[in-house]
Homo-oligomer: A and B are copies of this chain.
């Protein structure tokens, strides 16, 4: 896929780039002053919707509500807060999540069951519900102003709301994760897709992995949307690990409102699905790159595996190894740790056949070290993006995972997050 020319191109507008989508972000003072912390995403018509959630059996309260509201495959809005996870607080949490949906529905003039809810932040502390609901009120009002501009044909004037929504879902993120693409269709017309995400800590495979929200104006029924999203998540968010900790709150949502008037078919459909996957991978890489305390992005590609599941296990295991991560931070070409992490991944392979590369530099062949330039290795490990490649010479399957280095900064951030 990386070798083929992409049929889509990047545009501005973020989550509100697709026709009929609007977004807002406000400062509700949930945990910090002067921090955007309530986001609202809205479609001016009913949208088909799909979701993927954390596999942690301890699930935050909004996840239960969102899963329930998504049963009919329809949604019109997503309301998100940062600064409080609304997790592990008992009945209050369920009531708070419901209040968020209800108040958003009221101000936006839609049914509460068409509102999806997500939260991120500290676990086990009751959220300051009055501030959250007030934030939703203000965000709704700003968003509806943008809808009016949209009706008057000036939707681009509302771009700022999308950006503020991207800011509002951030916690310890240091970069805004906001993207949009447009796909010209061979059947005529253009399909848009927009996305925002947050990541940083508690990032690990086997779930939605973080918060990721995608919107599109393509016309796709929710069952198809669910399959497309699930497949994309498998190769993107589920292949990212920052610290091995799987959160209680993670989810990825995809809303398709059909406002482009296009139901992509044939080649367009193939391109659309690729575009969704590409968007998810872009978000996933950005999340890894911006992992808590990270100074560089690690990309691990495993080829020649017997099964894709084996390739994925190995790629993720290497990305998750504290020792590999610390060696990356120290720019130490300790390939033995890479092979070791492959060895305990649970995947089947023959250690005596494995070649290991750092970038283009071979450091091990057939499971044992080769002479290589320490100087060149140090240079490669000093890059902001470090590529580690393993060829298992055992089959045809391959996979890629993303992670980051383990730094002093990670320890500092997580030694004092709650207080």
Binding site for B on A (CB under 8 A): 55-59, 85, 87-90, 93, 122-125, 201-202, 204, 206, 243-248, 320-323, 326-327, 329-337, 339-344, 348-349, 351, 364, 366-369, 374, 406-408, 410-419
In whole angstroms, what is the CA distance A332 to B246 when docked? 19
Question: Is B332 a contact partner of A419 (Cβ separation < 8 A)?
Answer: yes
The chain B residue with its CB closest to the CB of A363 is B124
The chain B residue with its CB closest to the CB of A349 is B57
User: Do most interface residues of chain A lie in helix, strand or loop, or is the interface mixed?
Assistant: loop
Question: Is B246 a contact partner of A340 (Cβ separation < 8 A)?
Answer: yes
Q: Select one of B87, B327, B333, B368 contacting A415, CB under 8 A.
A: B327
Shortest CB distance A318–B (Å)? 11
A321: chain B residues at CB < 8 Å are: 244-245
The chain B residue with its CB closest to the CB of A91 is B368
Shortest CB distance A121–B (Å)? 10
A412: chain B residues at CB < 8 Å are: 408
Question: Is A336 a contact partner of B245 (Cβ separation < 8 A)?
Answer: no
Question: Is A418 a contact partner of B327 (Cβ separation < 8 A)?
Answer: yes
The chain B residue with its CB closest to the CB of A346 is B57
Shortest CB distance A126–B (Å)? 8
A408: chain B residues at CB < 8 Å are: 408, 411-412
In whole angstroms, what is the CA distance A279 to B340 when docked? 28
A415: chain B residues at CB < 8 Å are: 326-327, 329-332
